[in-house]
Structure 1
Amino acid sequence: MGWFLTVIGVGLYLNYVTILNSSEELLFVIPFSFYFILFFYMIVVIWIFPLLAHYQTNWFGYIRNAVIIGLTKIHYTMASGLVIFLVVYFSLDYPGIIPFFSIGLTAIGCMWIAMQIFGQLDQRTS
């Protein structure tokens, strides 16, 4: 799943570079659709790994559930994005903490937020 998301991310980055380097004026629809797809990609990246750790389904189910949870619980998605932003910000400000804390703090913060959601979902289904 990680390699799949990485390949999609590289494709989105190349698309972004192409949009930036286009010398002609683009239609409004092209950058708008790119940012729309990027928004959904970020939601999937934030929610897919907690879903992989907590539930068992197929690939399409993980992606579908990530989008559904990410959109219906947008405030939790924004909180996870804030956790990621803060860890990256402080890691770039203090590079000595990168090997020791950056990945662990990001995983703990995002998984704690995800467990709040999963607890609510599990109570509703039982």
Structure 2
Amino acid sequence: MNENGGSEIFNLQKSSKRVIKVNLEPEKIKSIIVTKKNWILKLKDKEAEFYISRLHIEDNSFSHDHLFYFADEDNYFKFLNFLNDLFIKDTKVIKEIETIIYYPKSIENKIYSIDDLI
């Protein structure tokens, strides 16, 4: 746990190449889905999601208003540590494709009802 209580501040670059500071707070993230080109962060209490590219800005032809890139390599590796420290890696079948998905570690102690399993 860092000085921000688990949240982490990243320098993310918009497609316009402007760099912004974004505080990623695990308690506000429902899940993170890993695709070939992006991490898709799904937010709790909202239908919103945003993308962080796993590729360099020049390598990603996908354009989206909510697509961000890491400003530098340090932020990329800091994000990988953020995932490993604060999230649980799982798999889920999405559209008939087995997909890697991360859930906040806060769900580790959750007790599921039998209804949740169906």
Classify the TM-score, shorter chain: under 0.3
* TM-score, length basis structure 2: 0.25
For the pair shown, the structure with the greater C-alpha radius of gyration is 1
Q: Which has more strand, going by share of residues? A: 2
* TM-score, length basis structure 1: 0.24
